């Protein structure tokens, strides 16, 4: 087993690092490291910069605009983005919808949608969860009735991340309510968000942020050619799509950067007249997180080595990266809260250059990161996957 990088891979890492240093806009980086949300204009501007470099969709096949990088190069790319404070592109278009189109799309769908996704011309969002259909996604009720050359969609989606930015939405809809098994009556549709009958309503979070939304469909007409794969076979597409969310969820590079920020906070925050970093109990907690992060990085390298040698995608045990990676992210946010105490609470009228401006974002970030162990399949579900598929329990 080889858990190190080759000379060529180290050179590639330096190439990515140098390019980010020269091309990542300072205002976008400042928003990321300062825990401020990116506007749609920020995301699309960064997407255009990456597309001009040919790096917006590194995991795609070369013939549709991918880089031809191997799995290790793609991992290094993701890690360097996290270390630099560079935002990753929202996955809904470049990673999720594109993966579905590459696997299930018609030639016409690929030629229509993939170039625009690659170049950052359209912002895609995901229409999966509904009231009463979250973890039990097969319980969804949003209807799509075939009428000639259109489907008529009526229903609701909820917790739609960045839905207010959306130009297009890919949706799971129920096309056969009478199906014997719930999963057999679901289809996968691509819907233009500018279509009449679509209403997006914000769901304001505890910190006042607007990240998620409700999306309502009131007799929305969707052309039949926007059906991906076969009618009533959307569950097959959904399962394929969800399998693409796991490998990068460890976010080692981002957690390394956040751990360095936490150490810096502990060095300047005072407790009983001394820097917090000198407090034995806090330093013990900090060391435990650092050890866990080192272990996660080693585990990630093990998966990389296995995939390099076999040429096969990871198995069900890759879920451990999602479990431990999100838990470490939550540990770091918790320790940041402990480090600054009451100043972690959000408040107005602070100097934009002061440390209080930064610390006042820590409580909202802590609460926001509670979702990390739920999205992409809750950690409880991931443990069940490992138990059944890897351990045979």
Half-sphere exposure of 230 (CA within 13 A, CB side): 5
Question: Is 228:246 a contact under the CB 8 Å cutoff?
Answer: no
Count Cβ atoms below 10 Å from residue 213 Cβ, excluding itself.
Answer: 23
Is residue 211 annotated as a catalytic residue, yes or no?
Answer: no
Nearest to 150 by CA among 226, 232, 237: 226
Longest dimension (CA), the chain: 75
Of 15, 119, 245, 334, catalytic:
245
Query: Is residue 272 left, alpha or beta, with left meaning phi > 0 and alpha meaning psi from -120 to 50?
Result: left
Annotated catalytic residues are: 245
């Amino acid at each position: 087993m080889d858990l190190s990088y080759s000379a060529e891979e180290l050179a590639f890492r330096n190439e990515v690092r140098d390019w980010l240093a020269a091309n990542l806009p300072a205002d976008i980086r400042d928003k990321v490291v300062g825990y401020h949300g990116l506007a749609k204009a920020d995301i699309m501007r960064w997407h255009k910069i990456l597309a001009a470099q040919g790096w917006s969709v590194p995991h795609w096949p070369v013939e549709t605009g991918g880089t031809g990088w191997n799995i290790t190069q793609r991992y290094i790319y993701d890690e360097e983005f996290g270390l630099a404070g560079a935002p990753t592109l929202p996955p809904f278009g470049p990673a999720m919808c594109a993966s579905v189109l590459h696997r299930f799309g018609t030639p016409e769908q690929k030629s229509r949608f993939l170039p625009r996704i690659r170049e950052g011309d359209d912002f895609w969002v995901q229409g999966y969860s509904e009231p009463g259909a979250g973890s039990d996604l097969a319980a969804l009720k949003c209807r799509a009735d075939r009428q000639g050359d259109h489907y008529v969609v009526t229903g609701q989606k909820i917790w739609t991340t960045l839905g207010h930015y959306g130009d297009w939405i890919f949706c799971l809809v129920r096309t056969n309510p009478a199906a014997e098994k719930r999963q057999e009556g679901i289809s996968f549709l691509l819907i233009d968000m500018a279509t009449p009958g679509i209403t997006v309503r914000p769901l304001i979070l505890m910190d006042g942020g607007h990240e998620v939304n409700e999306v309502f469909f009131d007799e929305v007409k969707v052309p039949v050619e926007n059906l991906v794969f076969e009618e009533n076979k959307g569950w097959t597409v959904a399962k394929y799509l969800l399998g693409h969310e796991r490998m990068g969820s460890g976010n080692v590079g981002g957690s390394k950067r956040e751990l360095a920020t936490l150490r810096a906070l502990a060095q300047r925050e005072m407790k009983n007249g001394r820097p917090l970093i000198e407090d034995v109990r806090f330093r013990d907690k900090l060391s435990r997180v650092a050890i866990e992060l080192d272990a996660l990085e080693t585990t990630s390298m093990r998966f990389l080595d296995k995939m390099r040698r076999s040429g096969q995608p990871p198995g069900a045990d890759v879920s451990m990266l999602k479990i431990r990676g999100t838990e470490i992210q939550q540990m770091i946010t918790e320790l940041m809260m402990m480090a600054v105490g009451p100043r972690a609470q959000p408040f107005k009228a602070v100097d934009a250059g002061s440390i209080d401006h930064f610390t006042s974002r820590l409580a909202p970030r802590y609460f926001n990161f509670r979702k990390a162990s739920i999205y992409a399949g809750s950690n409880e579900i991931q443990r069940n996957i490992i138990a059944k598929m890897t351990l045979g329990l």
